[in-house]
A and B are shown apart, each in its own frame.
Chain A
């Protein structure tokens, strides 16, 4: 089989997994929220409501796209794509599993293995900020603008913490390649979460802020801002914003798994079969996705100044000190 074909199949499969997971994440969100609130959740479309995402999709497709008067037409159309596409591109460097051998073809289970994978991921997840801010601005609505401003301020602030925590892991592993970070954890025999607990906690909280999820969802913030940056959006454009949000959640969960929970590695199992490795990765990622939902339906929303204070006055110094200590220990020992 030519390499291009293998690569295409791999890319198709991974994008399929991403979009499918995103679709079912919407169902999972509604189910989990329902269970926590003594309800059943969607259970009409198919058994246990399993076809609900498709019903939603059909509804989104057939709804009318409304643009407010005075909206900037180009930006208004562009913003949802700027929100969804970076989130979908970031999945390219996530290592979903170990090397796959089908017949005589051997390939790594990720779309690309970049030397600077972690950096690439951060760069593109940082671009996701353009969706909310441009969408909010182009809507010509005060709520949208406020939501967009908040989203961008928050994402830019928490990206620093995210990067510093990631750097602590990179310092330990000595590489920016995500696959090598996974193998280095397997070689050391201990997951990074036990070596870097502070970075782990900060990283997880920062991912919540970075993906605009509860308790930091100021970009939407229904009680004050109606719907935040997507107040004026409808139909497929609205769906694209949500696709972006859910894809970002999945990628961030996958990244946390890769960096701190040994990625596709299984404890005490040497060189597992690739199916097992893939399943291990998906299980760990699903755990984080559940955490996203669980936290959303547990914690109330912060206040915006509290969020900024937390990010700049607590997380950033702690992450810096953590990075410094990590660097000092690594350079002293190694």
Chain B
């Protein structure tokens, strides 16, 4: 039963993953991605990793994907039908390069997973299954606390970098007006004739009411 479920979910996950890439409508991609995350979560559950499954749903399906959805809606991306043909994409050099890199990485990963000797601690964990939260917590905040903190720093750095990039892109346009006004102040116009005093509409109104 569990094995059947595993293969079934794997097939669905892979198919949905293909759907993410191949779908022409970004909305359908999101839904396919959602399905992939779900299948993965259930596979984790089958393997006995309750925490990982819950975290998968909570973080990926519940938060990150919603963000994607937001971006897609706000950008108002339509169907890409007609702008883009799968064959062209598959035949382009960049895609081939990307596919080759992905395949190589996958191969390396698979070989590494096969070859990697399990440490004694890991083996013990593996035998019991890491479904116990305490194990996860001690591993995350004890043994691997330094990598964990480094990763969080990395995320922070990425966030700051993205903010900086976004700011710089908007920078020149928004910086021009202050500069202009600064030069205007530095060099006043040669004829400082006071402009004809147009009554400020707000002020005059207040006078009337008073």
> Nearest CB to that of A121 among chain B residues?
B54
* Contact pick for B133, options A126, A134, A159, A176, CB 8 Å: A176
- Residues of chain B within 8 A (CB-CB) of A211 are none
Total interface residues on B, CB under 8 Å, equals: 20
* Contact pick for B57, options A115, A124, A129, A134, CB 8 Å: A124
Is A123 among interface residues, defined by CB-CB distance under 8 A? yes
- Residues of chain A within 8 A (CB-CB) of B100 are none
Is A186 among interface residues, defined by CB-CB distance under 8 A? no
From known contacts A115-B132, A115-B133, A116-B51, infer whether A149 and B61 are also in contact, taking CB-CB under 8 Å: no
Closest chain B CB from A151 CB (angstroms): 11
> What does DSSP make chain A's interface, helix, strand, loop or mixed?
helix
Is A91 among interface residues, defined by CB-CB distance under 8 A? no
* Contact pick for B58, options A72, A122, A133, A152, CB 8 Å: A122
Is A156 among interface residues, defined by CB-CB distance under 8 A? yes
Total interface residues on A, CB under 8 Å, equals: 26
Is B27 among interface residues, defined by CB-CB distance under 8 A? yes
- Residues of chain A within 8 A (CB-CB) of B156 are none
Is B89 among interface residues, defined by CB-CB distance under 8 A? no
B55 touches A119 (CB 8 A): yes
Q: Would you give the 0/1 interface string for A133-160, flagging 1 where the beta carbon is closer than 8 Å to chain B?
A: 1100100000001000100110010010
> What does DSSP make chain B's interface, helix, strand, loop or mixed?
helix
Closest chain A CB from B24 CB (angstroms): 13
- Residues of chain B within 8 A (CB-CB) of A149 are 70, 73
Chain A, range 98-130, C-beta contacts under 8 Å to B: 114-116, 119-120, 122-124, 126-127, 129-130
A120 touches B69 (CB 8 A): no
Closest chain A CB from B131 CB (angstroms): 6
**In the bound complex, CA of A119 to CA of B56 (Å):** 10
From known contacts A75-B27, A152-B69, infer whether A115 and B131 are also in contact, taking CB-CB under 8 Å: yes
B50 touches A116 (CB 8 A): yes
Is B46 among interface residues, defined by CB-CB distance under 8 A? no
Is B14 among interface residues, defined by CB-CB distance under 8 A? no
Q: Which residues of B contact A (CB under 8 A)?
A: 27, 31, 34, 50-51, 54-55, 57-58, 61-63, 66-67, 69-70, 73, 131-133
| 5 A–B contacts, CB within 8 A, in A order | A72-B27, A120-B50, A122-B62, A126-B62, A127-B61
What 4 A-B pairs are tightest by C-beta distance, nearest first?
A126-B62, A123-B58, A123-B57, A119-B54
